[in-house]
Structure formats: structure tokens, C-alpha cells
Amino acid sequence: MTSRRTIGLIIAVVALAAAAMLSLALGTKSIPAGTILDALRPGALPGPGQAEDFQIVRDLRVPRTVLGLVAGLALGLAGGVMQALTRNPLADPGILGINAGAAAAVVLAIRFLGVGSVTGYIWFAFGGAAAAFTVVYFLGTRGRSGASPQRLALAGAAVGAALLSVTNAVALLDVSTFDRYRLWVVGSLAGGDLDVAASAGWFVAAGALLALALGRPLNALALGADSAQALGAHVGRTRLLTAVAITVLCGAATAAIGPVAFLGLAVPHAARAFVGPDQRWLLPYCAVLAPVVLLVADVVGRLVVRPGELEAGLVTALIGAPVFLAIVLRRRIGHL
């Protein structure tokens, strides 16, 4: 089983490299692989007829590909640890209102504090994500029955709807805020640069290391709080550190590219079907497969309406919504 999982992870890494190459090669203008490799060489000068291709690769496609890698890794890991913490198969940064919390905090910062950079967005996105997750988890775990998938999903929907109404009201009442907000809220890899990726990347790296280190404690927590304590796990500390990892990962990714729905829901389910529930394997698979899905969604969005562009967040929503419905119908959430 271990060798099968290892081989599968290697294949996933190869798929990630292929997705990155497609992201560099395809778009309004297709660029040959040889030209891409030349453009990526430090200090390389363009040959005859290569100047435009070099500029496209270096200035446009490399930044959006790096952003896709960073944000995809963050959202995949966040979805995996979120589902493990809540023991909820429907847990996702979008469904549980975390994206809405980050978005509300960012638009309030734009409107009332004049924040205009991703570096500034990150801190407010962290705060909004943390506040939304805290409220949803509190509402979803109240009562004798404790947490359940449908309670958490309903709490997330309610909190997300309330935050969305606040966000829309603030954005629509001020033209300048709306102009900046609308370019961010759709969840797009376009328009970012390497400074944005670097700003978010440090936080994603810290959150990813924390999330991956929680694999074993989350395995124990999946057996229930009492069983986890009997096995020597620190339940309270594990829950706190997991909440911190989710907030850091979701906040950084949302600040960098905007809210992206369903990625954190669909990828852990696909990985779990292959490696099972063991978080020590599931989380690395999520970290690799989620960027593959996000980069492919971005490439598809560039190709289907060429020479225009369909944002990656819209493509992942089109893919993820049927997955969400399939999960709900399969588990018969309404009869739990």
C-alpha cells in the first residue's frame, strides 16, 4: 500500500509539472516549449522573433503560474485539514463562510482604510477568515448533538450570506471600492505579479508546514475526542493549531487571488478515494493535486473564450458545484 501511495504521489507531481508547463504555453497565443525553456533561463536573451514570447512568458505567465501553485496548495491543504477537524465531508473554505469572511474584511479595508496592496489585504483576510470560521464552528457545534455535517453547512451558508450582503453593500455604495473589489472577488490568477506570490508564499509555507505536521494528531482526532486523548493526543492543542493553519492558508490564498470556491471540497475527496483517510498521506496529495486543478482551470478559462478570458474561480465553481451535489446526494445529508 505504501509503495502504491508513493508511486501515486510521484505521478501527481509529474501532473503538476505538466499543468505548470501548460499554464506557461497556452493562452491567447500559444508558445513552443523550447521558447519557454529559453525564456526561463536566467539572463537568456531572446532570439530572432522571440522578444514578444519572452515578454509574455516572463511578465504574464510565470507570475500567474506561481500564483496558481501557491494558492492551489493553500486551498487544497485547507480543505483537507478542515474536513479532518470538523469530520464534515462538506467542509470547504467557501461553503463554511471562510472565503466570505476574508472578502468582507478586505472590502472593508479597501473602503474605510484605503488599503490597496495584497500585502495589506493579507492581514485583513486573515482576520476575516478567522472570525468567520470561529462563528461558524461555534454555531455548528452548539447543542447536545454537537457538530454534524448539515449543521456546519447550514451555519456556513447563513454566515456567508450575511457577510456577502455586507460586502456587496459596501462595494456598491462606493465606485472606487467597487472597481478594485470586482477585479479581485472573481478569483483570478490574472494581473498578479511575483511580489504578490512572494507576499502570500511566506504565509502559505508556514501554514503548509503546520498543516502537514498535524497529520498524525488529526488521525487520532478522527476517532473521537475521548479515543484521541486515550491515544495520547492533545485534543485542544490539535484543534487550535488546525484552526490556525486553516486561517493562515485561506487568508493568504484569498488575499492573493480572491475567493475560489469548491477547490478545497473536491480535491480532498478525490485524494481520499485513492489513499484512504490517513491524513499523513491525504494532506500531501491535497497539496499537489489542488494546484493541478487550479492551473488546469485557469488554462481552460483562457482557451474557451479566446481571445477573452474566463476567470479560474468561475471554472472551479462550474466543476465543483456538481461534485458538491453528488456528495450531498450520495451521503443523503437530508436524512442524517
Residue 47 within a domain: no
The predicted pLDDT at position 336 comes to 46
The predicted pLDDT at position 146 comes to 55
C-alpha cell read off for 323: 461534485
The pTM score is 0.88
Residue 46 within a domain: no
**Residue 30 CB coordination number (10 Å):** 9
Cis status of the peptide bond prior to 307, with omega within 30 of 0: yes
Structural domain of residue 223, as residue ranges?
Answer: 71-335
Residue 17 within a domain: no
Q: Distance from CA of residue 43 to its chain's centroid?
A: 33
The region that residue 232 occupies, defined by phi over 0 for left and psi between -120 and 50 for alpha, beta otherwise, is left
C-alpha cell read off for 57: 512568458
Asked if residues 81 and 246 have their Cβ atoms less than 8 Å apart, the reply is: yes
The predicted pLDDT at position 142 comes to 73
The predicted pLDDT at position 9 comes to 94
Residue 1 within a domain: no
The predicted pLDDT at position 331 comes to 59
Spatial CB neighbours of 73, under 8 Å, sequence gap ≥ 6: 204, 208, 287, 288, 290, 291
> What CATH number is given to the structural domain containing 244?
1.10.3470.10
**Cα torsion for 268, 274, 275, 276, to the nearest 10°?**
80
The predicted pLDDT at position 19 comes to 97
Residue 40 within a domain: no
Residue 38 within a domain: no
Taking only Cα atoms into account, the Rg of the chain, rounded to an integer number of angstroms, comes to 20
Asked if residues 102 and 122 have their Cβ atoms less than 8 Å apart, the reply is: no
How many structural domains is the chain composed of? 1
Residue 28 within a domain: no
Instruction: Walk along the chain (336 residues) in steps of 10 and give the mean pLDDT of each run.
Output: 86 96 92 92 85 92 95 94 82 80 88 79 85 85 62 83 90 81 78 85 94 92 77 80 88 86 86 89 96 94 85 84 70 49
Asked if residues 301 and 309 have their Cβ atoms less than 8 Å apart, the reply is: yes
The predicted pLDDT at position 119 comes to 72
Asked if residues 189 and 67 have their Cβ atoms less than 8 Å apart, the reply is: yes
Residue 96 within a domain: yes
